[in-house]
Chains A and B, each alone.
Chain A
Amino acid sequence: MTPTLQYFLIASSLLFSIGLLAVLSRRHAIFILIGIELMLAAANLNFVAFWRFNPDPAETTGVIVAIFAIAIAAAEAAVGLALVIAVYRHYRTTSVDHLDQLKG
Chain B
Amino acid sequence: MMNSIVQYLWLIPAIPLVASFVILSLSNRQRATAAALAIGGQLGSLVVSLLALSVTLSAPGFRAFQNFTWFTFGEHALRLGWVIDPLAAAMVVMVTFVGLCIFVFSTGYMADDKNFVRFFAYLSFFSSAMLGLVIANSLLLLFISWELVGLASYLLIGFWIERPSAAAAAKKAFITTRIGDLAFLLGIVWLYGSSGTLLFYDDGRGCLENSALLVLGATTTSIALLIFCGAVGKSGQFPLHVWLPDAMEGPTPVSALIHAATMVAAGVFLVARMFPLFSHGAIAGVTPSLTVVVWIGVITALMAALIAIAQMDIKRILAYSTVSQLGLMMVSLGVGGVIAGMIHLLAHGFFKALLFLGAGSIIHACHHEQDIRRMRGLRRLMPITFVTYTVGMLSLSGLPLFFAGGWTKEGILEATSHWSSSPLPYYLMLFGVVLTAFYMTRQMLYVFFGNPAGAAAHARENRPNMTLPLVVLAICTVGLSVFLTPAWPWLNDYLAGKVPEIDFSELFHPLMFLSLALVAGGIGAGFFVYRDVRDTDPLERAQPAAFRFLANRMWLDEFYGATVIALARISSKFADFMDRYVWDGLVRLVGVIGHLLATLTKGFDERGINAGVDEGTVGARGLGALIARRHSGQIQTYLGAIAVGMVALLLLYAWLG
Within 8 A of B (CB), among A38-64: 57-58, 60, 63
B640-651: CB near A (< 8 Å → 1, else 0) gives 100100000000
Q: Which of A23, A25, A60, A101 interacts with B633 by CB under 8 Å?
A: A101
B631 touches A57 (CB 8 A): no
Q: Report the Cα distance A6→B334, complex, angstroms.
A: 53
Q: Are B629 and A104 in contact (CB under 8 A)?
A: yes
1/0 per residue, CB under 8 A from A, across B456-491: the answer is 000000000000000000000000000000000000
Question: Complex: how many Å from CA A12 to CA B631?
Answer: 32
Of chain A, the residue at the smallest CB distance from B631 is A104
Query: Within the assembled complex, what's the spacing in Å between the Cα atoms of A58 and B73?
Result: 8
In chain A between 83 and 104, which residues have their CB closer than 8 angstroms to a CB of chain B? 96-97, 99-104
Q: Does A1 contact B (CB under 8 A)?
A: no
Q: Mask for B235-252, Cβ within 8 A of A = 1, else 0?
A: 000000000000000000
Residue in B632, B633, B635, B643 whose beta carbon sits within 8 Å of that of A20 in the complex:
B643
CB contacts (< 8 Å) of A100 on chain B: these are 632-634
Residue of B73, B629, B635, B643 near A96 (CB, 8 A) is B635
Q: Are B632 and A57 in contact (CB under 8 A)?
A: no
Of B74, B628, B632, B636, the residue contacting A60 (CB under 8 A) is B74
Q: How many A-B residue pairs have CB under 8 A?
A: 38
Inter-chain contact A104/B636, CB cutoff 8 Å:
no
State whether B635 touches A57 (Cβ < 8 A): no
* Bound CA–CA A57/B628 (angstroms): 53
Q: A24-B640, A96-B636 are known contacts. Are A102 and B631 too (CB-CB below 8 A)?
A: yes
B639 touches A104 (CB 8 A): no
A24 in contact with B628 given A60-B73, A100-B634 (CB within 8 Å)? no
How far does the alpha carbon of A32 sit from the alpha carbon of B634 in the complex, in Å? 13
* Total residues of chain A contacting the partner, CB 8 A: 17
Kindly provide the distance from the CB of B328 to the nearest chain A CB, expressed in whole angstroms.
Answer: 39
Q: Give CA–CA (A34, B183) in the complex, Å.
A: 30
Smallest Cβ-Cβ distance to A100: which chain B residue = B633
- Minimum Cβ distance to chain A for residue B299 (Å): 36
In the complex, what's the smallest C-beta–C-beta distance from A43 to chain B, in angstroms? Answer: 14
Q: How far is the CA of A63 from the CA of B633 in the complex (A)?
A: 38
Verify A63–B73 contact, CB threshold 8 A: yes
Q: Answer whether residue B627 sits at the interface, using C-beta atoms and an 8 A cutoff.
A: yes
Q: How many residues of B contact A (CB 8 A)?
A: 17
Chain A residues in 8 Å Cβ range of B636: 23-25, 32, 96
State the Cβ distance, A58 to closest chain B Cβ, in Å.
6
Q: Which residues of A contact B534 (CB under 8 A)?
A: none
The docked-state distance in angstroms from the alpha carbon of A62 to that of B293 is 43
Which residues in A have their C-beta under 8 angstroms from that of B74?
57-58, 60
Interchain CA distance A51-B215 in the complex, whole Å = 33
* B72-107 interface code vs A (CB 8 A; 1 in, 0 out): 111100000000000000000000000000000000
How far, in angstroms, from A104 to B638 measured CA to CA in the complex? 12
Chain B min CB distance to A81 (Å): 15
Binary per-residue interface labels of chain A (15-36) against chain B in the complex, 1 for a CB within 8 Å, 0 otherwise:
0000010011100000010000
Q: Are A97 and B634 in contact (CB-based, < 8 A)? A: yes
Give residues 597-653 of B contacting A (CB, 8 Å).
Answer: 627-636, 639-640, 643
* Cβ-defined contact, A103 with B632, below 8 A: yes
Asked if A102 and B633 make an inter-chain contact with CB atoms under 8 angstroms apart, the answer reads yes
**Cα–Cα, bound, A103→B636 (Å):** 12
A58, A63, A99: which contacts B635 (Cβ < 8 A)? A99
Q: Is the CB of A24 within 8 A of B639?
A: yes
Hey, which chain B residues are within 8 Å of A58, CB to CB?
Answer: 74-75
Q: Taking CB as reference atom, which chain A residue is nearest B627?
A: A104
Q: Which residues of chain B come closer than 8 Å to A60, judged between CB atoms?
A: 73-74
Given known A-B contacts A20-B643, A58-B74, A104-B627, A96 and B634 have beta carbons under 8 A apart: yes
Q: Which of B572-595 contact A (CB under 8 A)?
A: none
State how many angstroms separate the Cβ of B125 from the closest Cβ of chain A: 20
User: Cα distance A38–B557 when bound, in Å?
Assistant: 39
Which A residue's beta carbon lies closest to that of B72? A57
* Interface set of A (CB-CB < 8 Å, partner B): 20, 23-25, 32, 57-58, 60, 63, 96-97, 99-104
Query: 8 more A-B contacts (CB under 8 A) besides A96-B635, A104-B627?
Result: A20-B643, A24-B639, A57-B74, A58-B74, A96-B636, A102-B635, A104-B629, A104-B631
Q: Please give me the 8 A-B residue pairs with the lowest Cβ-Cβ distance, nearest first.
A: A100-B633, A103-B633, A104-B631, A104-B628, A102-B633, A60-B74, A24-B640, A24-B636
Q: What are 19 A-to-B residue pairs whose CB atoms are below 8 Å?
A: A20-B643, A23-B639, A24-B639, A24-B643, A32-B636, A57-B72, A58-B75, A60-B73, A63-B73, A96-B635, A99-B633, A99-B635, A100-B633, A100-B634, A102-B631, A102-B633, A102-B635, A103-B631, A104-B630
